Amino acid sequence: MGVFALRPMVEWRQGSITLRGSMPTPITYVATAEETRQFEAAAVEQGATWSELMERAGQGIADILLQRLGAARDKRVLVLVGPGNNGGDGLVVARHLHDAGAKVALYIWKRRERTEDEPWRLCRTRRIPELRSEADALQVGLRQASLRADVVVDALLGIGVTRPLEAELAVIVDAVNSIRTGRPAAAPLIVAVDIPTGVDADSGAIMGGAVAADLTVATGIFKRGHVLSPGRQLTGDVLCVPIGLPDLIEESAMAESLSAQTLRALLPARAADAHKGTFGKLMVVAGAGRYPGAAFLSASGALRTGAGLVTLACGRSIFGALAAALHETTFLPLPEQDWGVLGTDAAREVLQQLAGYTALVVGPGLGSEDETKTFMERLLKLDSAKTASGVGFLHVSPVQAAERVRKLGSSVGFRRGAGAPPAERDEAQAKEPSEAELPPTVIDADGLNLLAQIEDWWTRVPANRFVLTPHPGEMARLLKLNDAAEVNSDRLGAAQQAAREWQQIVVLKGAETVIAAPDGKASIGPVGNPALATAGTGDVLAGIIGSLIAQGLEPFDAARLGVFLHAQAGQIVRREIGEAGVVAGDLLARLPRTITELRNAS
């Protein structure tokens, strides 16, 4: 799907469409229906009229269609006209196409005749044929007109849909979509005005049914439903025509669609006299006894994205295997509570070694044991009850302390050893190195599932310290929702709400990954890629984002750029290997190439 606004004076192609006199410019910002109305109202306050905005929209759409049709004379166009401003745009389109020589017909649904309806009056002065939907109860006339048409223009609802389509309109939509079945070899071009009828402009949801368009022409500004699934699967190519909206976009908190043009400037510079310290130090805390691959993928993703030094902190039980596979990584072998299980001692070890690191990734493959939850609480300093020594251990009862000593005595050799008497322990703690503050931290996978078990965790951590990277299931657990379907029903809204409440960056993974910041800013990633629907690709993304933070990017920018690079590497893999059989490791070798292509993009 292509997404463009139009500028004058050149020739270009968009899919099968050749446009002469207009140049595509990628649209960055996307608006909600309410934001769109506010921009239009602001344009009127600054001197435009509503009829002028409608005229600009309709004429812009007609110009695109005339360029698509070539010679318009005798081409058949059916315009579906609804009751609101979207229908008014459609009437303007109909008038301009008629004046250019096309054979235009109108199919009117629920539009009341009003003396002030100038677009309709101008169509009637031209004697453009009309068919009213109430006179076509079985849609026989609609189907016949559609089968004869070269172009069908959907101007029924636009951004006005807020609930499932009523029965009569749903039948009309089904009739339009059936055109391809009736004329599979030469189906008409189906063009949606602003957004296909039945697609929620804010969430991309399908409201009971929706027109499947080949081309959508947005008026004034791009809408969220153009880039959010499942709506984006029904928009076809997307163009945007200017209608004279005021230049307030940069000052708003609208979401943006990620593009190479906006993200290229975020790539860290690579000076000729640079050294490894120039590009930051990242620690990755990942991998447990059963999941060493997650640690490998996260650390490798970080290295392949350009971090100067990556240290992998992992349990001692998997250290040897990972050290044999990761030759460019330094290691911090961690003591284990039990075989493959990190606990309080491991958290303290990480905190004591973090000084000098510019970013941290924690979570991939950690496991979900109770001791690992304690590890997360200790690492993130969520253990609010302190011991008398003030070193930061969780407070335990005498019974719990006895049980802890019993476990130490029966350990399999991965811990530091059995517990010392209290006096000796206090003295040893006093001599231990101080603990560093957490740098900006990416929390992924098991780290998120463990975090979801900690009540009100966000009230006890510094704001803007974490980048959380949940998939929909993990997001549902963090938000205490029933299942991922509740998240996916409004992915952008869920991410923005969570970012505001938690005061952290949220990266909601999936088709069209959403990146949301506490201040309301949000970005929508590239279209989904089935080749990335395989275990471990999220671990790679966590390493990428951590690497970019380590190299000096602000967490929100690192998340945006990281999501884009991850998606672009996935597209390369899809082209070279295919959609099935791809493994997460296939992304790693493509990441440097992806960065180079972005840096050199024109």
pLDDT tens digits for 531-580? 888 889 999 999 999 999 999 999 999 999 999 999 999 999 999 999 89
Asked whether the predicted pLDDT for residue 478 surpasses 60, the reply is yes
The strands making up 330-334's β-sheet, listed across from edge to edge, are 222-223, 29-31, 255-257, 522-524, 514-516, 505-508, 466-469, 441-444, 359-362, 281-285, 309-315, 330-334
Q: What homologous superfamily is domain 3-257 in, according to CATH?
A: YjeF N-terminal domain (3.40.50.10260)
* pLDDT at residue 15 greater than cutoff 70: no
Residue 261 is predicted with a pLDDT of 83
CA-closest candidate to residue 458, choices 498, 509, 517, 507: 498
Cβ count within 10 A of residue 191: 28
Average pLDDT of the residues in 222-237: 91
- Torsion sign (Cα): 224, 230, 235, 236: positive
Orientation of helix 537-550 relative to helix 292-304, angle to 10°? 40
pLDDT at 245: 85
Express each pLDDT in 374-402 by its tens digit.
999 999 999 854 433 333 333 333 334 34
What is the C-alpha separation between 100 and 62, in angstroms, rounded?
A: 10
Per-residue model confidence (pLDDT) at position 253:
63
- What number is the average pLDDT over the span 141-155? 94
To the nearest whole number, what is the mean pLDDT of the chain?
A: 86
Q: Provide the percentage of residues in the chain whose pLDDT is more than 90.
A: 68
Residue 166 DSSP code: P
**Quick check: 405 pLDDT over 60?**
no
CA-to-CA separations, 522 to 155, 330, 597, in angstroms, rounded: 29, 35, 25
Instruction: With H, G, I as helix, E, B as strand and everything else as coil, classify residue 116.
Output: coil
Count Cα atoms within 13 angstroms, Cβ side, for 389.
16
Q: What does the pLDDT look like over 325-342, one tens digit per residue?
A: 999 999 999 999 999 999
Provide the pLDDT for residue 425.
52
Give the tens place of pLDDT for each residue, 575-591: 999 989 999 999 999 99
Q: What local confidence, expressed as pLDDT, does residue 184 receive?
A: 61
CATH T-level topology, domain 275-394+410-419+431-600: UDP-N-acetylmuramoyl-L-alanine:D-glutamate ligase (3.40.1190)
Name the pLDDT band for 506 (thresholds 50, 70, 90).
very high
Residue 289: per-residue pLDDT: 82
What local confidence, expressed as pLDDT, does residue 287 receive? 92
Q: Taking Cα atoms as reference points, which of 10, 28, 26, 29 lies closest to residue 18? A: 10
Number of Cβ within a 10 Å radius of residue 114 = 9
Question: What's residue 57's pLDDT?
Answer: 95
Per-residue confidence at 432, pLDDT binned at 50, 70, 90?
low
Confidence tier at 452 by pLDDT (50, 70, 90)? very high
Tell which residue, 170, 168, 210, has the closest CA to residue 190. Answer: 210
DSSP H or E segment with residue 330:
strand 330-334
Mean pLDDT, to the nearest integer, of 73-98? 96
pLDDT of 360 higher than 80: yes
Contact 179, 204 (CB under 8 A): no
Residue 391: predicted pLDDT: 34
- Domain boundaries along the sequence of the chain: 3-257, 275-394+410-419+431-600
Tokens of 163: 């609930």
Query: What CA–CA distance (Å, rounded) separates 346 from 164?
Result: 53
User: For residues 513 and 532, is the Cβ–Cβ distance under 8 A?
Assistant: no
Are 536 and 583 within 8 A, CB to CB? yes
